[in-house]
Amino acid sequence: MRLTVLGSGTSVPHPRRSASAHWVETESGTLLLDCSGPAVHRMAEEGRDWAGLDAVWVSHFHLDHVGGLAPFLFGTKHAPQTRGRRKPFNVFGPRGTEKLLRRFDEAGGYGLFEQPFPFEVKEVAPRAEFELLPGLKGTTLSTPHTSESLALRLDDRDGTSLVYTSDTGYTEALAGFARAVDLFLLECSFFREKPVKLHLELFEAMELARLSGANRVMLSHLYPEWDGVDIPAEAKRFWDGETIEARDGLRLEV
Ligand SMILES: [Zn+2]
Ligand SMILES: [Zn+2]
């Protein structure tokens, strides 16, 4: 499994961190973890095969995670690069994903559901197991962030695994969910004294890292409060393992 960080930031405009999007490649295809507004162009900027993208995972309906989905579908509907595409494209997300997209579609009469290729929205429940790509199993966990928000565990048939928390408050259930995972991709919105309960700050993220027994940790969804902080060094104070700071453009073999 290979990961490219497209957006390590949040809804707050930032010169070096665009909003949430992480690109995953396996032997059988490609998957985008959340589709922020900037993600649509970040895929092209990083030279990723956006026209061949197989699936998008929507973790929840905050616009820094889903704001690019309708624009992306507007692009694929009309772009020369997707005119000849026939392989299916799937959007996976919590209950309500299709309604959200249909409402947006109806507001402008865009015809987003009529694509040159088969397109489906597949809604998944918490604790569901499903196939995201051939040989890539997804499992979900409800998280304390919004009523629909879900964390996603990916288990590839080559044996590698990744957990993407997306936005979440603190719950030890996430540590069990990410047990011994190869890469624990955690949100870590704030350094310390977080202003809201429904996100994580550093010591909480590191506590989850420790409890999970994850091989490596990547911290993403970083608010501008993190600017100028040596994140791996600060993380070491709470957990001994390898912590990677997500940066836009970073590529990693999981
Ligand atoms: Zn967010
Ligand atoms: Zn959110």
Two tokens, residue 67? 């704001």
C-alpha to C-alpha distance for 204 and 87, rounded to whole angstroms: 41
C-alpha to C-alpha distance for 65 and 77, rounded to whole angstroms: 21
Angle at CA of residue 180, ends 178 and 181, nearest 5°: 60
Kindly report the average pLDDT of the chain as a whole number: 98
Express each pLDDT in 62-77 by its tens digit: 999 999 999 999 999 9
Kindly give the distance from the C-alpha atom of residue 147 to the centroid of ligand 2, in angstroms, as a whole number.
11
Kindly give the distance from the C-alpha atom of residue 150 to the centroid of ligand 1, in angstroms, as a whole number.
12
Kindly give the distance from the C-alpha atom of residue 145 to the centroid of ligand 2, in angstroms, as a whole number.
7
pLDDT at residue number 126 = 98
Kindly give the distance from the C-alpha atom of residue 167 to the centroid of ligand 2, in angstroms, as a whole number.
5
Express each pLDDT in 116-174 by its tens digit: 999 999 999 999 999 999 999 999 999 999 999 999 999 999 999 999 999 999 999 99
Q: How confident is the model at residue 85 (pLDDT cuts 50, 70, 90)?
A: very high
Q: How confident is the model at residue 108 (pLDDT cuts 50, 70, 90)?
A: very high
**Mean pLDDT, residues 3-19 taken together:** 98
